[in-house]
A and B are shown apart, each in its own frame.
Chain A
Amino acid sequence: MKQYFKDIFESVWTILLGMKVTIKHFMGRNKTLQYPSEKWNLPERSRMRLFNKIEDCIGCGQCVRACPVDCIYMTTEKRGKDELPIYASDGTPIKLRVPQFDIDMSLCCYCNLCTYPCPTHCLLMTREYEFAVYSKQEFLYRFAKDKPLAPPKPAHHAAHAAPGP
């Protein structure tokens, strides 16, 4: 009998305690960020969309090897001997043309492993995160500017070759 009334008392008391907490929050300030009008200031190291500064790319292919999900497609060609020597912005000589440098952001797992081995630091993760698109093809970002001399060879990873333009 004593336990019976103790139970009732405890129930009422703990319910009141809980109600106290919720009403405190009810009166308190909210913590919502109204997203499109207010935006969260991303920290410097945020890893969002990949970007390749193709002018500095020497076509070494280390990023392709580092990528654990194989979402970077790159083809390279030797530069002709008669062409003018060009250099990346840190002075590394560019010996290869890069007619294809595609990144499929729908496959990317944002692990950042591709940017570390890059010798000229031209591949980097930007803070750009609003890049929703209507079709999957649009996630294929093409960075290459060089025109291929020969018809393009099969991509580095032929099995999941990039979809056509």
Chain B
Amino acid sequence: MQVEAYVGEEMVLNMGPQHPSTHGVLRLELETDGEIVKKVVPHIGYLHRCFEKHAENVDYPGVVPYTDRMDYVASMNNSFGYALAVERLMRIEVNERVKTLRVIMAELNRIASHLLAVATYGMDIGTFTPFLHCFIEREKVLDLFEWTCGARLLYNYNWVGGVSHDIPEGFVDKARQFLREFEPVLKELNELLSYNKIFIKRTAAVGILSVDVALSYNVTGPNLRGSGVKWDLRKDEPYSGYEKYDFEVAVGDGRFGPIGSCWDRYYVRVWEMAESIKILHQALDRLPEGDVQEKVPKKVKPQKGETYGRSEAPRGELGYYIVSDGTGNPYRIKVKSPCFTVLSALPAMAKGALIADIIAILGSIDIVLGEIDR
């Protein structure tokens, strides 16, 4: 009885939709007791743009620009997955050059996407400088993309049966130069942010995502690998010739605390960038000759049927379930979004954390609301 007298009222704090660090338009309903958060309820849907309905009303090539706009910081990987799924539906096998080009673009895009994730994560923890240091490098990747296909963010590059442009002359050298310049930046980032004691203190024992919880929520990608599970579609279910590349799967090792913490998830991304550099070097070495548009069909009309294609996007397993009724427009497209599953695991991760930890956790799962709401 007496204890109850001292239990205060809980305060409901609305974090978002306008908030500096909800990574888009997300609203978190926090039930707080002082600084301690008792309960988190994410509210989504502010960025809903009817992707799936739109896709039913445009033809197959017309869906590609829409897929770009789902996870707008990793557009190459989105259209990559879509192109793979439709090609499987149409039983098209693209040539080696297209495959390698797609891998190059996807890995460059992965670097750009992870740079953004790492940079904004630094900002969530309260330091601004790594943000701009990362963005300088990201700009270089975007320059390479703009040079290749003319757009900096939404590329419309991976078409069904090919890619929109072959790489321009001198691209290989430019890309190699970027990779050479990028490696020291990663080292610098580690000095400035990753191994900073304050940063470690803020992230290492926070937001533990245990393997059981991660698997039961179907968390994929770097978030799952941060919990120590070696699951990467590029290794476990290779597509587009990934089996030929020699790279390691980055997993969290719990170096500074329990495994599956925010720091582990963060560091998996840093590590993956280093692995992407390895893949890129190999891909640039082996780039075979060929026509990048030889299989692009004039009219994309898959036969009746359905397929599920998945690929490893920077945020996890991105799946497209496509039903075709034999016409030029897809009958139904359903997207399995990696961000959505990991956001649904947020309440489990954030229970009993402090308000500052909520931000740290939310930043470490690296969600893009454009993909969750679609």
Contacts and interface: CB of A to CB of B under 8 A. Distances in A.
Tell me, yes or no, whether A binds B.
yes
Interface of A: 7, 10-11, 14-15, 17-18, 20-22, 25, 31, 42-47, 66-69, 109-113, 125
Interface string B41-73: 000000000000000001001111110110000
Given A7-B197, A21-B188, A110 B151 contact: yes
A111 B148 contact: no
A43 B147 contact: yes
A125 B148 CA distance: 15
Nearest to B63: A68
A18 B196 contact: yes
Interface of B: 58, 61-66, 68-69, 129, 133, 136, 146-151, 154, 156, 164-165, 168, 188, 191-193, 195-198
Contact of A109 (B63, B65, B149): B65
Nearest to B195: A14
Contacts of B69: 109
Contacts of B193: 18
Nearest to A116: B164
Contacts of B148: 45
Contact of B64 (A7, A43, A47, A111): A111
A109 B58 CA distance: 14
Task: From A20, A43, A67, name the one whose CB has the most chain B CB atoms within 10 angstroms.
Answer: A43
Contacts of B149: 45, 47
10 contacts: A17-B191, A18-B192, A22-B129, A25-B133, A43-B146, A44-B168, A45-B149, A45-B165, A66-B62, A113-B61
Given A21-B188, A22-B192, A112-B164, A46 B150 contact: yes
Given A11-B197, A42-B146, 20 more contacts: A15-B197, A17-B191, A18-B191, A18-B192, A21-B188, A21-B192, A25-B133, A43-B147, A43-B168, A44-B168, A46-B150, A46-B151, A66-B61, A68-B58, A69-B65, A110-B151, A111-B154, A112-B151, A112-B156, A113-B61
A83 to B, nearest CB: 32
A10 B195 CA distance: 10
Contact of A21 (B58, B154, B165, B191): B191
A113 B156 contact: yes
A13 to B, nearest CB: 8
B150 A125 contact: yes
A82 to B, nearest CB: 36
B136 A31 contact: yes
Which 6 pairs show the lowest CB-CB distances between chains A and B? A68-B62, A111-B65, A45-B150, A47-B150, A11-B197, A111-B156
